[in-house]
A and B are shown apart, each in its own frame.
Chain A
Amino acid sequence: MQKYSFAQLLRQALRGNKGWQPAWRNATPRGGYDVVVIGGGGHGLATAYFLAKKHGARRIALLERNWIGSGNSGRNTQVLRSNYFWPESVALYDHSLQLYETLGREVNFNVMQRQQGLLQIAHSEHELELMRRWCNSIRMSGLEVEELTPAQIKRRVPPINLNCRFPIVGGYVQQRGGIARHDAVVWGLARAADALGVDIIQGCTVTALHKSGERITGMTTNLGPIAADKVVMSVAGHSSQLAAMAGFRLPITTMALQAMVSEPIKPVFDLTMISAAIHAYCNQSDRGEIVMGAGADVYNSYAQRTSLPSMRATVAAVLELFPGFSRLKLMRQWAGAVDISPDTSPIMGLTPVRNLYINCGWGTGGFKAIPAGGDTMAYTVAHDRPHPLIVPFGLDRFARAALVDEGAAAGVAH
């Protein structure tokens, strides 16, 4: 791997930038692999990377139907945070945030993470009380959050309208929350995985899984058959289809999560803001665009496209908070096919099929969990038992009714 550094930049500039190598090889499938990861989003790439890096696995393939990062990894709003309610969730998501803090150095690729803070606001006394309970829970899990008065919120976010239709009565900030550049995360992980020998195979669609007894032996793809000793499925909104190929059903509903950005403006606020009550969140990207989201279409959908009712609801909520944005034009809008689980917590670990491992159910908040998803899944595959951090998130929790209900506890999750 060509190391990216200031010296390298200088060297290449003096040679007319003719010496840059592709960041990863465009591999074609060999006949068989020790591990095949299906799905070339952040989670799949991180799984392949950590398998090669930490567990010394060789002969790893990563199959992606389109191009890497073309699904939800390229469609999210790049929010990082770990302010969940349940200790199980905080442990997993904060492991991820810690890995993000060093990811750029780890993969030698600037992932442009910026921990400028994550602000959650409340619009009623009742919501504020629940928010304090939530803060206490986070503190008991060992993380720092700071409660803010409306005046303190106004100081942190000057353009906010505290006296909106449902006036803002308080909030709290997780200072380590923030954003990272989603494409950089995908590309950085792909480059680092490729350097460790992972075959990244794009344009490769799995059309059937071959089973012998309770094991998967390989798969049919549009690029020919591929044999595999172990298979990881990391395909988000399409998990139900792949599980059906393997012969089991999942508690997953696929929906279209909507997001949009405005035209770029000068810096007006630096942290990510979330309002669960009026259902909107926004931040300002490094390019100056206001990134907005929250609403998903209410019905099952695999259509990765926008819809007017969700857009209208999100824009109306953001304009209540920031009336000054009403003159801005929307520049782009899009949607991702997200995999919603019954308790809005991920489903990770073992499956009814012996050598098939699952990582799905991240729903509306998978981006922030990419490094932890990869790290824990790599451990799970290498040791054939769930990583301690993901034991509570197994597919078996539904039969035991041992849900990790973040949807009810922490509200909107992104």
Chain B
Amino acid sequence: MLRIACPYCGTRDEPEFTYGGPAHISRPPLESDDGSWTDYLFNRTNPKGLLAERWCHSYGCGRWFNATRDTVTHEIVSVYGATEPQP
């Protein structure tokens, strides 16, 4: 069970949250080639270690935020705003 520190509500249990996948993936310009679009739509870094990811506190404040979590130990290293750069 993850215990996630929502920046707005404090630390709550994992079932209150919805996962949003990796953070900081930005849409390429419209005129980009198929390779860039494929990379954007499908390919993922899928790191074994630290991953910046999006979470939503669905059964709390309902707001999105970002967290940095280790995908092996599940330790959450940092929590930060949805529009903030990765620390």
Contacts and interface: CB of A to CB of B under 8 A. Distances in A.
A70 B4 CA distance: 31
A265 interface: no
Contacts of B1: 307-309
Interface residues of A, number: 21
Contacts of B53: 299-300
A258 interface: no
- Grouping DSSP codes into helix (H, G, I), strand (E, B) and loop, the B interface class, with mixed when no group exceeds half, is mixed
7 shortest interchain CB distances as A-B pairs:
A251-B42, A240-B46, A249-B43, A399-B38, A298-B19, A398-B42, A308-B1
Contact of A299 (B15, B34, B69): B69
B42 A254 contact: no
A251 B44 contact: yes
Contacts of B73: 303
Contacts of A251: 42-44
A229 to B, nearest CB: 28
B15 A309 contact: yes
B74 A342 contact: no
Interface string A4-44: 00000000000000000000000000000000000000000
A311 to B, nearest CB: 10
B74 A303 contact: yes
A251 B41 CA distance: 9
Interface of A: 238, 240-241, 249-254, 298-303, 307-309, 342, 398-399
A252 B35 contact: no
A38 B30 CA distance: 39
Contacts of A309: 1, 14-15
A113 B69 CA distance: 41
Contacts of B22: 300
11 contacts: A253-B21, A253-B46, A254-B46, A300-B46, A301-B71, A302-B72, A307-B14, A309-B15, A398-B38, A398-B41, A398-B43
Interface in B46-87: 46-48, 51, 53, 69, 71-74
